[in-house]
Each structure stands twice: as structure tokens, then as C-alpha cells.
């Protein structure tokens, strides 16, 4: 079975192997360190969550105080808490919503997302299954369950669920992105690139699909395309550690050592203990205190 889609490529770079060895292995093990989603991932927010902004938290609390038996208000506030990383409060609100309405499909899917974020995959799977038992045409639950299956190494079931999610909602960028990650983990990079391209076409404002497509381009030897995608990724999210590190790898492969050093240095500015960036910076002859170009 394939390994879970999180954190394989940087495991390769972190073993101290030389660059040529890393590139040879990358075609087999390449993948993203993260999410599973396009929204910050890790973010992560999926189609199951359609939440108001954090600024609406106070007003949602006021609604709940006036209407304490309204499951929708609890579900909405739980989504805000979830996006803010306040998982315990999110779970409390989703639990309350489901106690008020045991057939609330969206609340099951939203609670499943929190369980996935906290690595309680069995509970996430149970909630996605419950949502689909209530509404067999609810695309976000297929997407969520597909992510769980992928992380459990159940690739065929994951693919079936991603296909179903896409069939039900063909404009779901998240589903294409996650199916692309599955193809990528199986070294089916042509299919992965096609799915990442579709995801980008549907939502080009997120760094994750550009990082993912860039890594698949790198695995297939299209280094220039990889550099272009990773340039875009770091502009969309200048705080993305894996995007800068992957960009460093791409420019290292291209032979542009100064740009590679600049990218690795950017990653180290985000986390100076991040070993893949440290080893990459050392490989290209980077020196602490020296200024390197990034673009």
C-alpha cells in the first residue's frame, strides 16, 4: 500500500543523501507535507466548511444566546472556531448542533474535519459515513472520507470517493487537489499534474496546488515548469516553509545555486531548525550572513 500523503518528500531530503540520489528517489516517493486542502491548508478547510469570517464570532455567539436551540448557529460558530484552530471549542459546538439535530449532515462533515486535523481518523471516518448515510449525494463527505482513506493507505477506496466527490460537484477544487495528491503518491504524475491544473483553474489563489504540481513536474524532469510553479507558490504564500524548500530544490536542480540558496535561506528564516532547508542550503554552498537573490 502507498504511504500516507503527508511528509514523504522532505523525509527523503532529510536523510543526508546527495542531491542526485534525492532526485532519483523523488520519482518514487514524491508528495506534499501537508494538507490535504487548498485553503490554508493545513489548514485546512474543505468544502464541508462554509464559514463566516472570524470577525463574525461575536455576532454568532449573540445569535446563540438569543436562540439556544438553533443547530445552524452552533454549526456556523464551530466552523469559525475550527478555522481558527480552536478545535475543542469547534467540537463542542458541532456536538451541540448534532444533539439538537441528529440528522445535520453538514455538522457531521465539519466535525469529521476536526477529527482529521487532530488525527482521530476512526472518528472522522464514522462521521463521514454517518453524513453519507443521511445524504448519499453529499460531496464534501466523500471528499473527507477519501482523505481519511488515503491517509490510511486505502488507495482504491480513496480514489473511488474522490471520483464520486468530483462527479457530484465538478467545480470542487479541493477534490481535484486531493485526487492529485493520491496520484502523486503513486507516481502517476501525468494524472496528478492534470488534477492540480484543474484545481488551479478552479481556485488559483492558494499555494498548495502550485507546490504539488511543481513537485510532480520536478519528478518528471520538467525543472523549468517546476520553478515557475514554485515561484507562484511562494508569492501566494510567502510564509510557506515547504514551498520555499521545494523551490530551493527546483533551482538547485536547474543549476541556479544562488536562487536555490536564497530559497533555502527564506525557509530557514521561517524555521531555522528545519533540516531539509539546512541541508539544501549547505549543498549549494550557502553562507550565513550572505545575501542571496530570490527572484
Q: What is the pLDDT of residues 102-136, one digit of tens each?
A: 999 999 999 999 999 999 999 999 999 999 999 99
What does the pLDDT look like over 184-204, one tens digit per residue? 999 999 999 999 999 999 999
Q: What is the pLDDT of residue 57?
A: 87
Give the mean pLDDT of the chain.
85
In total, the chain counts a number of residues equal to 295
pTM for this predicted structure:
0.81
More confident call, 294 vs 7: 294
Amino acid at each position: 500500500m502507498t504511504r500516507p500523503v503527508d511528509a514523504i518528500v522532505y523525509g527523503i531530503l532529510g536523510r543526508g543523501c546527495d542531491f542526485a540520489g534525492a532526485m532519483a528517489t523523488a520519482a518514487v516517493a514524491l508528495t506534499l507535507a501537508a494538507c490535504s486542502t487548498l485553503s490554508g491548508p493545513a489548514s485546512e478547510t474543505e468544502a464541508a466548511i462554509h464559514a463566516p469570517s472570524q470577525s463574525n464570532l461575536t455576532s454568532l455567539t449573540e445569535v446563540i444566546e438569543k436562540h439556544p436551540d438553533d443547530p445552524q448557529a452552533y454549526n456556523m460558530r464551530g466552523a469559525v472556531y475550527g478555522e481558527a484552530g480552536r478545535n475543542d471549542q469547534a467540537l463542542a459546538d458541532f456536538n451541540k448542533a448534532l444533539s439538537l439535530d441528529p440528522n445535520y449532515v453538514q455538522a457531521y462533515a465539519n466535525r469529521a474535519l476536526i477529527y482529521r486535523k487532530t488525527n482521530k481518523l476512526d472518528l472522522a471516518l464514522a462521521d463521514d459515513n454517518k453524513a453519507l448515510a443521511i445524504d448519499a449525494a453529499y460531496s464534501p463527505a466523500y471528499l473527507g472520507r477519501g482523505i481519511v482513506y488515503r491517509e490510511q493507505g486505502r488507495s482504491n477506496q480513496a480514489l473511488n470517493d474522490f471520483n464520486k466527490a468530483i462527479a457530484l460537484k465538478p467545480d470542487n477544487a479541493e477534490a481535484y487537489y486531493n485526487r492529485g495528491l493520491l496520484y502523486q503518491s503513486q507516481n502517476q504524475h501525468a494524472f496528478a499534474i492534470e488534477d492540480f491544473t484543474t484545481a488551479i483553474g478552479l481556485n488559483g489563489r492558494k499555494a498548495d496546488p502550485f507546490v504539488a504540481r511543481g513537485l510532480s513536474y520536478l519528478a518528471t524532469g520538467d525543472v523549468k515548469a517546476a520553478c515557475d510553479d514554485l515561484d507562484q507558490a511562494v508569492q501566494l504564500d510567502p510564509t510557506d516553509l515547504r514551498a520555499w524548500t521545494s523551490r530551493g530544490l527546483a533551482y538547485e536542480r536547474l543549476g541556479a545555486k544562488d536562487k536555490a540558496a536564497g530559497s533555502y535561506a527564506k525557509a530557514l528564516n521561517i524555521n531555522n531548525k528545519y533540516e531539509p532547508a539546512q541541508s539544501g542550503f549547505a549543498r549549494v554552498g550557502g553562507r550565513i550572513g550572505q545575501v542571496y537573490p530570490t527572484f
